[in-house]
Amino acid sequence: MRTTLITSAVALTAFALLAPAMARADTVTDWNGYASNAIVVTAGQPPPSAVLSFAMVQGAVYDAVNAIDRSHRAYLPQPRAPRSASKDAAAATAAYQVLAGLFPAQQPALQSLYETSLAGVADSPPGAKADGIAAGAAAAGTMLAARKDDGRFGPFTPVYGTTPGIYRPTLPAFAPDPAPWVGNVRPFVVPSVEMLRTRPPHPLTSRAYARELNEIKDVGALHSTTRTPDQTSAAIFWQDHAFALWNRTFRTLATNRKLDIVDSARLFATENLAAADAAIGCWNNKYRWNTWRPITAIREAASDGNRATEGDPDWLPLFDPSTPVAAPPALVTPPFPEYPSGHNCAAGAILGSLRYFFHTDRVAFSASSNKNATTRSWHSLSEALQENINARVWAGIHFRQADLAGVALGKKVARYLHNHDLQPRF
């Protein structure tokens, strides 16, 4: 135990030594980082369930800060706080209390972070800190109450098939979906998951299906001769934990664009609320259509009834454990139905919401991935979105239609949120 504490202290000291070189983040971005560690690293939540936790934290932080600022409509009804209340204390309290409510076992570690955070908040004017704490506690309590019995972690038994086109677990581990219940969760923003219904996937006997199968069979193969090194790198890059990666990117955007605490709170809430509903809609569609993955489709193409496809019983995708990565786990075909693409449901919602937030597509940004320890940059949001679409084909895990359907679903969520929630009061 003593060794662990010393190691942690050394790590924290090293981080502190690096801190002066970094732009100082406000309390919202600080707590988004703490939330990411609690949700992704410590709790180990997979992306489709992790984003629901992110949405709860950031929605409460937004409401706490906005109860003081009052410039936008609340996400959930909140009592107004004095305008003199500390927004930093409000943000820290809301994040801490939601995280502690979600992960009671982490409460001691979170409390330590919270106490440190509050110690840096000035009580000026007198009572500002206490008023901020009260606003944060109110927002956290409202969020936890609102999401009680919302369908998270509910019972769900996937149905696997053996007939052509129907999903069944894939090589190499034949693993189950770690969060199949996500599609039955009550949405955060849209009135009903039914409004996010996608079009059906291409029929197996169609030309479009054959075209997409032959595309991924070529460019998505483990040893493809047509996929470029940069395309390989991009495919692996985007397989980092999606919402850890995206929230790192939001923190960078908030810092680089010098957003104040009010705008930072709104940015994080907008992005994570949109992404949460995109995940819910996506998983609901996945189990409605229940379609097979490319590795199954290509290996069993002789049974699909399409004369333009040819089976290859030994075909493997780029996302195979033999492909080297910088951080575990190994690359595999994701263990749930193929259509639509969960990654692109998220990308459509996130990049669509960023476009509404900044009022332009011309948002240049960079992001870093732990999966291959690289940083990639884009000149615009649409450029990043197109790379997301292509990356899943290059990876050998999604037909192109699934990526496009995911983007369309995500954009629908972003548009609805923009038109109905977190709007200016005037």
Residue 40, number of CB atoms within 10 A of its CB? 21
Q: Where are the alpha helices (DSSP H) in 147-196?
A: none
CB 344 within 8 A of CB 389: yes
Average pLDDT over residues 17-27: 44
pLDDT more than 70, % of the chain: 94
Helix, strand, coil abundance in the chain, percent, nearest 5 = 60, 5, 40
pLDDT at position 17 over 50: no
Q: How far is CA 416 from the centre of its chain?
A: 18
User: Residue 426: which pLDDT band, with cuts at 50, 70 and 90?
Assistant: confident
Separation CA 337–CA 311 (nearest Å)? 20
Write out the two tokens for 85.
Answer: 């209340």
Closest listed residue to residue 317, CA positions, set 392, 397, 391, 390: 397
Q: Which helix (H) or strand (E) holds 118?
A: helix 107-119
* ∠ Cα 405 307 395 (to 5°): 40
Q: At residue 66, does pLDDT exceed 70?
A: yes
pLDDT tens track for 1-14: 223 332 333 333 33
Other residues' Cβ atoms within 10 Å of the Cβ of residue 200: 12
Contact (Cβ atoms closer than 8 angstroms) between residue 310 and residue 252 = no
Average pLDDT (4-26) is 35
Using alpha carbons only, give the angle 260, 263, 267 rounded to the nearest 5 degrees.
130
Q: How confident is the model at residue 140 (pLDDT cuts 50, 70, 90)?
A: very high
Q: Over range 146-160, report the average pLDDT.
A: 97
Amino acid in the structure at residue 304? D
- The rounded distance, in Å, linking the Cα atoms of 203 and 194 is 22
pLDDT in tens, 390-422: 999 999 999 999 999 999 999 999 999 999 999
Give the whole-number percent of the chain exceeding pLDDT 90. Answer: 94
Largest Cα separation within the chain, whole Å, is 77
What is the mean pLDDT of the segment spanning 27-38?
98
Cis peptide before 82 (omega within 30 of 0): no
Residue 144's pLDDT band, with cuts at 50, 70 and 90, is very high
* Helix, strand, or coil (residue 325): coil
The model's pTM is: 0.93
In order of start, what are the domains of the chain with their CATH numbers? 23-146 (no CATH), 180-420 (1.10.606.10)
Cα–Cα distance measured from residue 86 to residue 236, given in angstroms and rounded to the nearest whole number? 42
Q: What is the mean pLDDT of the chain?
A: 94
Measuring CA to CA, which residue among 155, 67, 55 is closest to residue 102? 55
Residue 323 · residue 222 · CB < 8 Å: yes
